[in-house]
């Protein structure tokens, strides 16, 4: 074959600056493109063998070798797949995906690099020029009588192609790295990138450091498992075989019935480096109307400070595409950890276009349905475990209900609430419990420690409440109120129900209310404080603070939106009311001795005690409270 020189068939002075700037946002992705091309070449050769159009030699071990040489600043990627003839190199390499290149250039010449284009117009090979000044190809086709081909290009539009020297079927690509990309010839950097993109490709992938010393090579290999005895002469080198960096048959490709719990857990640890065991998992396995497999894990949250952020890895035929692609993965499921492999996913488009693809929407809907089916099925058939997992999984479920209306509809009857006794109730069961005295009202607790006084009052009167102590609960109960007409969630410190009070006329309390209100405002030096006097059945309670539900939700919303520095009163009353128990000895004393020299210390102490039952004191308030408590103890000793 005579040497051929020519220009690449593109309607542009130079495609490579465009490739470097717009084709891929992550330059390390060239490893994925070139290695997956090698996998494709081997897969095609296997198919030809099955169809009888080629006979694979018996001793063939299909593999891809990635050789890095930090001294020469080169990367060599070799496969023993289908190979190419000179005509095929001319068609698939020199013409750069035919006329599609012109459309590509026209569409993306003015774009920023925010849109990652995956395999657009078959340009995957050219990702090599993002990191290389020069690229060579040596290839030999499987076709009988084919001659080897050598091709090289220095990053311009000029190429040179002629007869090569390759003697085995397959393709070898050598990248001569540019100055900015020398890092990719480092063994550890190469391993990091290959692990990221190629961990589950369907062909054995071996990473070889051509600069490694003999002892370093020995430490990186394993002896092959052999069923035959062999005798080695002293001159013969011990037969060793590098360990593949990938797992060819990932767990998601197995049928769920063939997977053990230990396999699921080991896979989880390996992929996500999370040594907390997952709570449970969902194995996706669908063949129609599209092909999709995967495993979604519900991770265990250690405490309330854990970030609700998971990782869903998206694959296409075992080739890693990206983490957390929102167009494919429903937003609320991004809180989970998992892998999804969808060979049918349309990737020959920019990721931004996936949002408008009806097929992608069907994939997203299917995943949502499978998760809802798993959870509802667990509620029906394994309620004990469902309740056991609830504290960990409820943030995911509630977030899903807020973000996905169809998911909310499917989960409506399977949302449960833990009550004060630790029992789990559905929404309808909660409403039924308090129906006689508080119709359509559900009381709730956000902090069992701070609200313990209120909880005790509720228990004494046999009034139930549910525990809602996660950040997601505030918007979630608003969502439930909107979906269930007439239903109202009220925190237990929002108001004192009539069941906690003695039946007295307003006239009976009017006089003492005025006196105590004037006294407390004077001693607390707070004219804006709302004060109310009641006769509570429990005489041991001296003071409490209630917070109007609507006002408190407004304050919570301000915190959620980072408006903590603003004065809540600018949106109306803060909703806090100091409740004084006229049946309590200390309150009676103040009523009878308003001019006592102890009035100041008692009023402030009762107010702080009420605050402590509501929320932590500020540093200044805590300092005053401690000093005042010491003073009270001294008075007791003196008596």
CA-based end-to-end distance of the chain: 115
pLDDT, tens digit (0-9, with 9 covering 90-100), for 235-256: 444 445 688 999 999 999 999 9
Instruction: Calculate what percentage of the chain has a pLDDT beyond 90.
Output: 46
> Is domain 4-216 given the CATH code 3.30.565.10 in the classification?
yes
CB atoms within 10 A of CB 421: 7
Residue 228's pLDDT band (cuts 50, 70, 90): very low
pLDDT at 327: 73
pLDDT at 396: 87
pLDDT at 358 over 90: no
Q: How far is CA 616 from CA 279, 328, 447, 466, in A?
A: 34, 44, 11, 22
pLDDT at 357: 59
Contact status, residue 132 vs residue 144, Cβ threshold 8 Å: no
CB atoms within 10 A of CB 413: 13
What is the b/e burial string over 26-55, where b = at least 16 CB atoms within 10 angstroms of the residue's CB? ebbbbbbbbbbbbbbbbbebbebeeeeebe
The whole-number average pLDDT for the span 357-372 is 83
The whole-number average pLDDT for the span 382-409 is 92
- Architecture of the CATH domain 499-638: Up-down Bundle (1.20)
Q: Which residues pair with 580 in a beta bridge?
A: 533, 543
pLDDT, tens digit (0-9, with 9 covering 90-100), for 296-353: 999 886 554 445 567 889 888 898 888 877 777 888 888 889 999 988 776 543 344 4
The whole-number average pLDDT for the span 129-156 is 92
- Residue where the block lists tokens 């902090």: 447
pLDDT, tens digit (0-9, with 9 covering 90-100), for 197-225: 999 999 999 999 999 876 666 555 543 34
Q: Which of 121, 129, 113, 116 is nearest to 175 (CA)?
A: 129
More confident residue, 37 or 301: 37
Residue 278's pLDDT band (cuts 50, 70, 90): very high
Contact status, residue 22 vs residue 113, Cβ threshold 8 Å: yes
**Two structure tokens written together for 285:** 């396995």
Helix (H) or strand (E) holding 456: helix 452-460
4-216 and 499-638 share one CATH topology?
no
- Separation between Cα atoms, residue 157 and residue 510, nearest integer Å: 94
Q: Where are the domains of the chain?
A: 4-216, 251-383, 499-638
Query: Which residues of 290-371 form beta strands (DSSP E)?
Result: 292-298, 311-316, 319-323, 337-341
Residue 568's pLDDT band (cuts 50, 70, 90): very low
Helix (H, G, I), strand (E, B) or coil at 632: helix
- For the entire predicted model, the pTM comes to 0.76
Q: Which residues pair with 298 in a beta bridge?
A: 280
Residue 564's pLDDT band (cuts 50, 70, 90): low
Helix (H) or strand (E) holding 251: none
If you average pLDDT over each of 383-387, 429-433, 547-551, which comes out highest? 383-387
pLDDT at 499: 75
**CATH number given to 251-383:** 3.30.230.80
pLDDT at 253: 93
The whole-number average pLDDT for the span 129-138 is 93
Contact status, residue 74 vs residue 174, Cβ threshold 8 Å: yes
Which residues lie below 8 Å from residue 604, measured CB to CB, with a gap of 6+? 523, 524, 624, 628
pLDDT at 166 over 90: yes
Q: Which of 272, 269, 267 is nearest to 283 (CA)?
A: 267
Q: How far is CA 431 from CA 440, 485, 549, in A?
A: 6, 13, 18
pLDDT, tens digit (0-9, with 9 covering 90-100), for 574-632: 678 999 999 999 999 999 999 998 899 999 999 999 998 878 888 999 999 999 999 88
Residue 97's pLDDT band (cuts 50, 70, 90): very low
pLDDT averaged over every residue in the chain = 83
Least confident of 511-515, 566-570, 589-593: 566-570
Contact status, residue 608 vs residue 628, Cβ threshold 8 Å: yes
CB atoms within 10 A of CB 356: 10
């Amino acid at each position: 074959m005579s040497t051929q020189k020519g220009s690449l068939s593109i309607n542009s002075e130079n495609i490579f600056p465009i490739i470097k700037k717009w084709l891929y946002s992550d330059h390390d992705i060239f490893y994925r493109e070139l290695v997956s091309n090698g996998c494709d070449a081997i897969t095609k050769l296997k198919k030809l063998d099955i169809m009888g159009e080629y006979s694979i030699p018996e001793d063939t071990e299909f593999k891809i070798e990635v050789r890095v040489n930090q001294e020469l600043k080169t990367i060599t990627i070799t496969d023993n797949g289908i190979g190419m003839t000179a005509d095929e190199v001319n068609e698939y390499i020199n013409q750069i995906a035919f006329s599609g290149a012109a459309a590509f250039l026209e569409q993306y010449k003015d774009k920023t690099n925010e849109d990652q284009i995956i395999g657009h117009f078959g340009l995957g090979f050219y990702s090599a020029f993002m990191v290389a000044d020069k690229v060579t190809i040596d290839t030999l086709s499987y076709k009988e009588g084919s001659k080897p081909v050598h091709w090289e290009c220095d990053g311009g539009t000029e190429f040179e192609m002629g007869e090569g020297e390759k003697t085995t079927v397959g393709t070898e690509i050598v990248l001569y790295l540019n100055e900015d990309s020398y890092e990719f010839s480092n063994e550890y950097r190469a391993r990091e990138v290959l692990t990221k993109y190629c961990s589950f490709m369907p062909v054995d992938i071996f990473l070889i450091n051509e600069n490694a010393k003999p002892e370093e090579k020995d430490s990186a290999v394993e002896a092959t498992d052999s069923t035959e005895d062999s005798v080695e002469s002293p001159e013969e080198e011990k037969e060793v075989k590098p360990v593949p960096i990938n797992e060819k048959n990932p767990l998601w490709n197995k049928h769920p019935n063939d997977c053990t719990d230990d396999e699921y857990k080991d896979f989880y640890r390996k992929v996500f480096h999370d040594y907390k065991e997952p709570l449970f998992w969902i194995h996706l396995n669908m063949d129609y109307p599209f092909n999709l497999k995967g495993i979604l894990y519900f991770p265990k949250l250690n405490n309330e400070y854990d970030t609700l952020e998971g990782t869903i890895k998206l694959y296409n035929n075992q080739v890693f595409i990206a983490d957390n692609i929102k167009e494919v993965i429903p937003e609320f499921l991004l809180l989970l950890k998992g892998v999804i492999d969808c060979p049918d996913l349309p990737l020959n488009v920019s990721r931004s276009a996936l949002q408008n693809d009806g097929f992608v929407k069907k994939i997203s809907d299917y995943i949502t349905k499978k998760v809802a089916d798993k959870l509802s099925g667990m509620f029906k058939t394994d309620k004990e475990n469902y309740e056991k997992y609830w504290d960990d999984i409820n943030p995911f479920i509630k977030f899903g209900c807020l973000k996905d209306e169809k998911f909310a509809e499917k989960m409506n009857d399977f949302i449960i609430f833990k009550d004060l006794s630790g029992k789990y109730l559905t929404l309808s069961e909660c409403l039924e419990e308090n129906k006689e005295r508080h119709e359509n009202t559900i009381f709730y607790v956000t902090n069992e420690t701070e609200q313990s006084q209120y909880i005790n009052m509720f228990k004494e009167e046999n009034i139930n409440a549910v525990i809602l102590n996660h950040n997601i609960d505030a918007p979630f109960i608003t969502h439930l109120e909107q979906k269930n007409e007439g239903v109202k969630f009220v925190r237990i410190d929002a108001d004192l129900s009539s069941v906690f009070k003695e039946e007295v006329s307003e006239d009976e309390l009017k006089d003492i209310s005025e006196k105590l209100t004037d006294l407390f405002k004077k001693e607390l030096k707070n004219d804006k404080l709302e004060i109310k006097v009641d006769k509570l059945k429990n005489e041991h309670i001296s003071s409490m603070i209630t917070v109007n539900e609507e006002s408190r939700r407004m304050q919570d919303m301000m915190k959620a939106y980072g408006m903590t520095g603003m004065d809540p009163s600018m949106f109306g009353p803060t909703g806090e009311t100091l409740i004084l128990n006229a049946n309590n000895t200390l309150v009676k004393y103040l009523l009878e001795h308003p001019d006592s020299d102890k009035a100041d210390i008692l009023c402030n102490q009762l107010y702080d005690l009420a605050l402590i039952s509501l929320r932590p004191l500020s540093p200044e308030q805590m300092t005053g409270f401690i000093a005042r408590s010491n003073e009270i103890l001294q008075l007791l000793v003196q008596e």
